[in-house]
Chain A
């Protein structure tokens, strides 16, 4: 085994991890802002992927067109989900919140099955330029684009939450909605904004993943598990945590699949996950 090959595995893992981070950040944001777990998150990603497929098949547009369109569409979906569903179920018991977004997930999944059919769709693999070789390591255009955008969007989201007045207002609402209201902040507006931001990030993630993954109505299920693990490992509510956790999971998964065997990679990832939570139940970068 050569060093180059091992490096190739690590690079693949890092790029994969950046994508994991990208599609997990929205989930993390919603939790951090409102203490709601969005079980329909995987379906939001799935719809972002279908946006890319439709933009390509109907308009012939690549990611430069589909990414902004998916961001807007899924952000709108997020706001709608907030006003029509989440706002109401938040007043109910915890179980209602879980079942509410879970119901939304099933509705979106089977809605997609009805509209798009069960068939797998894929985008042409040269949509984002061809692969290139750097220092003996192969980089695939679509994965590099997704990885880089993943890093940028996650860092931007983090900066928005921690360095801007909008971020402070959102944080204030998440900590004490009544107190924030007394300070002149409209909690519902901030919460709707959180859903819009999460939706936009998730839509971008979906549109980019679609360039190298298959798209099907049930793909959200496969991706959602990774997103939940990433968010839990990174620390619920921490966008930077999701980034670190995503990269970590990507590399651990790649290395263990390569060195030990693909059937064992999940065991190793989840064992590492449990170990981390054993010592840091709040996740890598979460706060108590």
Chain B
């Protein structure tokens, strides 16, 4: 094609032919499938993740001069390893159900012919969606699902960038023991969790970590995230009145709990929310004023101006019209960048080459949007350098309070609420 077009142009227009030729390759695109909850109860989080990945694609395709100084991937003009091929994101809606997640992944692979898949927010859906990719031998990168069993299936095509439940449990345990050492009462802890893959697995990992560390979980409450009412559970908590409570929830149930706790006038001295719904910007905007002092975790803190995190945060704010990166969207953007970096190094859309490039990934902390110690996968596909910060909600904004070395604010306890 290139030869033909060169012949077609007149003598002396070699430079024009060159432009023509690069244009022809630049037209080529690398399709990346992304499977997220764009409808259903988690649609809010899913749409923030979608915007984060669109920003990621823009960074690769169009570039950002400031970011390009630290992150070569963001110099624009597509993937340099693939002669400037542009990245095209193909989004599919997992509708909040494992079955839809599975079907949509199948569609992305067989009909859209994507080179790789990113997804799928809910652990239960990542479980089914990644199984399809494994069967077809397509790399599946998961930026944010934390259920432990995802990397215990012996999969060859599955890569997970996020820290997992065990990392969080370790952080909470160390955090609570530190509070105990400082003289606070942490004798009874309630564990309240939604009862799908996410809530169940995180709860059981926390329970076993706490048991090992001698922290007493005095009550466990499992509930369905689609509940229309949580008053009885809050009344149960009020009756037992534990010193600390840990919630593992999605957005809709997080809102109901925050509202109902205020209605029934109950608050523990330490309230920890395991990220999830409590970190959804929609939750923070709606309920922030009645959850002052809520302790959570996050991989994201905007950090110093000029850092990758701060630049991306500003660009993301521009894209969303005000909402900055949060724990979920930062992990989505990070996941996308890891995938883009791997495809770029693979220099090909061949799944096996992308898989090999993902295995060879070695990103340093200063190149990351998320606050990890780096990105490097073990044999199971887990990022062994993933880590987390403990944050606290202050005036409707999460600030990092632990560990002390990375804290921007002093922790304030007891939990104030409203």
Contact = CB atoms under 8 A, between A and B. Distances in A.
A1 to B, nearest CB: 7
Contacts of A223: 228
B132 interface: no
B236 interface: yes
A144 B44 CA distance: 30
B223 A263 contact: yes
A198 B44 CA distance: 31
Interface string B227-270: 11111110110110000000000011001100100111100000
Contacts of A265: 232
A118 interface: yes
Given A5-B235, A257-B233, A113 B39 contact: yes
Contacts of A219: 252
Contact of B232 (A119, A140, A222, A257): A257
Contacts of A261: 221-222
Among the interface residues B46, B231, B286, which one has the most CB atoms of the partner chain A within 10 A?
A: B231
B321 to A, nearest CB: 11
Contacts of B40: 218
Interface in B26-79: 38-41, 43-44, 46-47
Interface in A1-43: 1, 5, 8-9, 12-13, 16
B39 A1 contact: no
A121 interface: yes
B199 to A, nearest CB: 11
Contacts of A13: 232
B155 interface: no
Contact of A120 (B221, B224, B251): B251
Contacts of B43: 113, 118, 216-218
B230 A262 contact: yes
Given A214-B255, A263-B195, A120 B228 contact: no
A216 B235 contact: no
A46 B117 CA distance: 34
Interface in A69-127: 109-110, 113, 117-122, 125
Contacts of A175: none
A118 B47 contact: yes
B221 A262 contact: yes
Contact of B229 (A1, A118, A254): A254
A238 to B, nearest CB: 22
Interface in A243-273: 253-255, 257-258, 261-263, 265-266
A30 to B, nearest CB: 21
Contact of B263 (A1, A109, A143, A266): A143
Contacts of B280: 120
Contacts of A1: 239
B283 interface: yes
Among the interface residues B47, B226, B228, B252, which one has the most CB atoms of the partner chain A within 10 A?
A: B228
A218 B222 contact: no
B215 interface: no
Contact of A138 (B39, B46, B263): B263
A262 B290 contact: no
A138 B44 contact: no
Contacts, number: 112
Contacts of B39: 109-110, 113, 118, 217-218
B333 interface: no
A79 to B, nearest CB: 28
A180 B53 CA distance: 61
Nearest to A120: B282
A138 B222 contact: no
B264 A138 contact: yes
Given A120-B252, A212-B259, A131 B265 contact: yes
B235 A12 contact: yes
B141 interface: no
Contacts of B283: 120
A155 interface: no
A140 B229 contact: no
Given A118-B44, A261-B222, A253 B229 contact: yes
A121 B259 CA distance: 13
B44 A216 contact: yes
Interface in B348-381: none
A136 to B, nearest CB: 13
Contacts of B236: 258
A117 B323 CA distance: 14
Among the interface residues B226, B227, B228, B229, which one has the most CB atoms of the partner chain A within 10 A?
A: B229
B222 A120 contact: no
Contacts of B265: 131, 138
A56 interface: no
A49 to B, nearest CB: 13
B231 A254 contact: yes
A254 B232 contact: yes
A122 B221 contact: no
Nearest to A140: B263
A6 to B, nearest CB: 9
A81 to B, nearest CB: 22
A226 interface: yes
Nearest to B231: A12
Nearest to A121: B286
B346 interface: no
Among the interface residues B43, B224, B251, B283, which one has the most CB atoms of the partner chain A within 10 A?
A: B43
B228 A226 contact: yes
Nearest to B46: A118
Contacts of B281: 119
B287 interface: yes
A91 to B, nearest CB: 32
30 contacts: A5-B235, A9-B235, A12-B229, A12-B231, A16-B231, A109-B39, A118-B46, A119-B47, A120-B252, A122-B286, A125-B290, A131-B265, A138-B263, A216-B43, A216-B44, A217-B43, A223-B228, A253-B229, A253-B232, A255-B232, A257-B223, A257-B233, A258-B232, A258-B235, A258-B236, A262-B221, A262-B227, A263-B195, A263-B223, A263-B224
Given A8-B235, A261-B222, 13 more contacts: A1-B239, A9-B231, A13-B232, A110-B39, A118-B46, A212-B259, A213-B228, A213-B256, A214-B251, A218-B39, A222-B252, A263-B195, A266-B224
Report the 9 A-B pairs with minimum CB-CB distance, sorted nearest first: A118-B43, A257-B232, A258-B232, A262-B223, A122-B286, A119-B282, A12-B231, A140-B263, A214-B255
